Every structure is written in structure tokens, then in C-alpha cells.
Amino acid sequence: MTELKAHPAVLAFPPMADKGFISLVQSVREEGLRESIEVHEGVILSGWSRYRACMIAGVKPSCRSWRGNGESPALYAIRCSLSNRPGLSKEDRAIIGSDLYGPVCAELRKGCKFIASHDDRGERAKVRLSRALGVGETLLQLACYLRSRHPESLELVKSGKSTLWAEHRRVCESNALQQPQPPQPQLSGRRGHSCTQQQERLVLLLSSMGKIAEDLEKLDLSEAVSLMPDNNLRFWKLESRKAYRSLLAASTRMSGLLRSRKENLNANVK
């Protein structure tokens, strides 16, 4: 029998606990495999732990082909793996999502040819991945940002020493307090402020909005909604996320504007 491999989305999740896996091996050895393993193009989407248990117990696993009806195999594997691990926190799921962002984009690039640009594919992958994992798009974006730019911060979050929001605030503050640059001509912006001053104010505002969004995330909506029939708390929670995403995009545009203006100044000086 050909040995099967697991889908990358399955391997991104933590493996089954040793105690539960030993019980599964014993059950498969005594009673056989009760539920078939779902396979797609030679990789396992659902039932990786059952397959490993069959290999150890010496039982031939029963497999069936997956019929996705146009669904993404990666997203299906995520939902199946997530249903067996209800104890994962939102930050744990966001970190897993940052690992799987590339494979999901690749699948959408193959299966969704009507999506024209690379940015549209990335945005679509972000939305579908956040829904499959049950986390907000902002939290998933933070995890992807830390993984690509500050992997050491993501390791602190994995070890439980920090949180995604706390590490992002720390990164924003450290970027605002970098080593002093040599004097350069002031680049005038709107309302008479220099672009450097505008960027510093934007970074501080971004850090404050991140703290507000983190505090609102920790609130228990089940109790708050019963006290507020008009769902005011839910409204402010959603609005804080929208404002944070807008400020994050504005910060990126501001950094690009500063780089282009500085390059133009240096070209003129030469």
C-alpha cells in the first residue's frame, strides 16, 4: 500500500495529545477503523491521526475520495482539524493562519482564475482563511505581519510570554523611536505639519487604537449585550477594528510617501 501524506493545512495544527493518541491506537487495534479517511490527490484532508494509528496498530486504513464540489481543500482541512481542537485560542488560530496564508493563496490562484490581480487573490484568501479559522481579519493580518517582519516577536507569542497586540504595539513604538537621522530638509504636509511629525503622530495613534481594540476583544459580549439591548458594545468593537485597519493602511501609505520624497530630494541634490 502506498504511504499517504498529510495536507500542509493538517500539519500546521498541533498533533493529538499522547494520552488520547495511545487510546486511539488501542481502539483501532481492537475494533478496527470506524470512520474512513478522506483523501484528495494523494494527501489526507481529514483523519491524519486515525491514519497514523492504523499504521502503528497494523490495520489497513479505509479511505474515500473527497468530493469538495469546488471548495478549497486547504479550507476544508482547516475546518476538520479545528473541529477536533476546540481548546485553541484566537491567537493560536491566527498564528496557524499565518502559516497557511501562502498555501491558501496558491490554491486560490489555481482555482479562481477570474480574480484578476495578485492583491485581490490575497484579500480573498485573507477573508476566507479568517472565516475558516473563526478569527478576525485584523488579528490574522497582525500574525502575518509579525511572521514576515518580526519572527522573534511571534516566537514570544507562541511561548505565551506576550500577545499579538502587545508585540505589535512594541514594534510600532520601537519604529517611532529609532536612532536619530541626520538633519534633512523638512517635507511639508497638510495643515502645516512636516511629514515626519505626521508619521510620528500616526504611529502613536495606531498604538493607542491597538490597545483599545485589544481591550474590547477581551470583553464578554454575552453579558454585555444582555445589559445593552441596542448592542452598543458590539458596535464599538466593530468600529474599533475598522478604524485600526484604516490607520494601519494609512501608516503604510505614509511610509511609502516619505521614501519616495526622500529619494526625489537625494536625486535633486546629486
Identify whether the C-beta of residue 59 lies closer than 8 Å to the C-beta of residue 24: no
Among the ranges given (50-59, 151-160, 179-188, 200-209), the one the predictor scored with the smallest mean pLDDT: 179-188
Q: Looking at residues 91-111, what average pLDDT do you find?
A: 83
What average pLDDT does the structure give for the chain? Answer: 75
Q: Looking at residues 78-82, what average pLDDT do you find?
A: 91
Identify whether the C-beta of residue 91 lies closer than 8 Å to the C-beta of residue 139: yes
pLDDT value of position 212: 61
pLDDT higher than threshold 50 for residue 44: yes
Segment 217-255, tens digit of pLDDT: 555 444 444 444 444 555 555 556 666 666 666 666 666
pLDDT higher than threshold 70 for residue 173: yes
CB atoms within 10 A of CB 235: 11
Segment 24-33, tens digit of pLDDT: 999 999 999 9
Q: How far apart are the first and last CA of the chain?
A: 69
Among the ranges given (39-43, 78-82, 106-110), the one the predictor scored with the smallest mean pLDDT: 106-110
CA atoms within 13 A on the CB side of 136: 18
